[in-house]
Amino acid sequence: MADTGIFATTAEVQRKAGSGASATSKAEAYTNDFMTQVESFINAATRYNWSDAYSGLNVDVKGILKEIASNLAAIYVIQYDMSGYSTRVEAEDLINILRDAALRGLSVLRDKKTEEFLLGA
């Protein structure tokens, strides 16, 4: 099976989910499913279809999309099964860190002046 996500790869999501992630939830099939959901969410939340425009975007925009998508998908991987982490607090801390970074990235993409700048770059 190959990565089917547009914005980020399974390996990128696995790195962010950490060593405690379950083998099931970090498997490519699950990550591909999570990535599809995340990409649709990013498009809807920012009111722009980044998936359709992806091939024409510059590396900076792709990097922001990669960060947001891999963070959100890693949250799904972690929450699927937290038993592999040393404590539940460790898993929750990872989720909080990933959520904060994803929200920061979404905020950047939602700003219309930033969107104009990124699309014009």
Going from N- to C-terminal start, the domains of the chain cover 10-120
Q: In this structure, are residues 77 and 30 in contact, taking their beta carbons and an 8 Å threshold? A: yes
Average pLDDT of every residue of the chain: 93
pLDDT at 33: 95
pLDDT at 1: 64
Q: Among 15-19, 81-85, 109-113, where is mean pLDDT lowest?
A: 109-113
d(CA 38, CA 44): 10
What's the predicted TM-score (pTM) here? 0.92
pLDDT score at 120: 75
For residues 83-106, give the mean pLDDT.
Answer: 97
